[in-house]
């Protein structure tokens, strides 16, 4: 904990997936996809604890076991009420702010995670700091910091699809909140390195084969993909699921 302000990274993870079941436990260069995200979060500057928030369904026992094996703390809650899971994680492992990550982004950059923590610690009155508020990064480098009090409000008040997407009520109507976005240059929001389909898996596997078993670094990934349009074409047609789908 720095300056008395605790920041936990909470990674939402489950084994069920409509488009690519079991994706978070797939082996990728010697470690699970979930293991990649845990490693990135654990090596991010300014993160105090890493928590994997999975469901309390028996199907996710393997996810909980893998999270523990990778050195993460574990919180378990309802499968389809993800914001409630985050509430459990916050209750079990208190912090002043939570950085929300998803287990299907194995190339997430520890430096970007740390940047969110640094921005918030410099201005702790901020309610929400995100790499997605203004999207300049490829999908797959998503990270969102939420002040603990605001997250607790969402646990109580969110409804419908917002209970699955955790922060959507904040960024959809940001006016009641103090929000800021982290942006990069040159922008690369046209690229996709998140894992949701077989085509995504093919691209991510190719990127890791080129860059090796090391935490994601957005500049290296973007540089590789800009030089390899054949890789970009692998998943260029994949549409991102919208809130509520």
Q: What is the mean pLDDT of residues 37-62?
A: 98
By DSSP bridging, strand 97-102 and strand 7-12 are: parallel
By DSSP bridging, strand 49-55 and strand 7-12 are: parallel
How many other CB atoms are there within 10 angstroms of residue 149's CB atom? 10
Q: What are the tens digits of pLDDT across the range 103-160?
A: 999 999 999 999 999 999 999 999 999 999 999 999 999 999 999 999 998 888 877 8
- The correct answer on CATH 3.90.180.10 for the domain covering 7-235 is no
CA distance 188 to 224: 12
Q: What are the tens digits of pLDDT across the range 80-105?
A: 898 899 999 999 999 999 999 999 99
CA distance 234 to 168: 29
Please name the residues in contact with 215: beta carbons below 8 A apart, sequence gap of 6 or more. 36, 39, 40, 43, 109, 110
Under a CB-based contact definition with an 8 Å cutoff, are residues 97 and 147 in contact?
yes
CA nearest to 200, candidates 245, 236, 242: 236
Q: What are the tens digits of pLDDT across the range 204-241?
A: 999 999 999 999 999 999 999 999 999 999 999 997 65
Residues listed for the chain: 245
Distances (CA, A) of 185 to 74, 93, 182: 35, 35, 11
Structural domain boundaries in the chain: 7-235
CA nearest to 44, candidates 187, 124, 145: 145
Q: Any idea of the CA torsion for 218, 219, 224, 227, to the nearest 10 degrees?
A: 130
Q: In what order do the strands lie in the sheet with 144-147?
A: 73-77, 49-55, 7-12, 97-102, 144-147, 128-130, 179-181
CA distance 139 to 10: 18
CA distance 245 to 241: 6
Count of H-run helices and E-run strands, the chain: 10, 9
Under a CB-based contact definition with an 8 Å cutoff, are residues 44 and 9 in contact?
yes
Q: What are the tens digits of pLDDT across the range 168-191?
A: 888 887 678 999 999 999 999 999
């Amino acid at each position: 904990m720095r300056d008395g302000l605790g920041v936990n990274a909470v990674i939402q993870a489950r084994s069920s997936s409509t488009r690519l079941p079991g994706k978070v436990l797939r082996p990728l260069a010697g470690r699970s996809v979930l293991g990649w995200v845990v490693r990135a979060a654990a090596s991010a500057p300014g993160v105090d604890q890493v928590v994997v928030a999975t469901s309390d369904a028996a199907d996710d026992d393997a996810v909980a076991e893998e999270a523990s094996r990778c050195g993460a703390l574990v919180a378990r809650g309802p499968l389809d009420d993800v914001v409630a899971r985050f509430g459990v994680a916050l209750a079990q492992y208190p912090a002043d702010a939570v950085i929300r990550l998803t287990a299907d982004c194995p190339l997430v950059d520890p430096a970007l995670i740390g940047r969110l923590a640094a921005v918030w610690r410099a201005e702790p009155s901020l309610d929400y700091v995100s790499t997605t508020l203004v999207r300049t990064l490829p999908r797959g480098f998503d990270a969102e910091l939420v002040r603990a009090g605001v997250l607790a409000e969402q646990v109580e008040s969110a409804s419908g699809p917002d209970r699955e997407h955790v922060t959507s009520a904040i960024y959809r109507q940001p006016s009641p909140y103090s929000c800021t976005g982290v942006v990069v240059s040159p922008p690369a929001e046209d690229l996709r390195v998140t894992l949701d389909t077989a085509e995504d898996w093919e691209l991510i596997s190719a990127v890791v084969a080129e860059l090796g078993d090391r935490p994601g670094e957005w500049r290296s990934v973007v540089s590789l993909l800009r030089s390899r349009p054949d890789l970009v074409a692998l998943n260029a047609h994949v549409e991102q699921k919208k809130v509520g789908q």
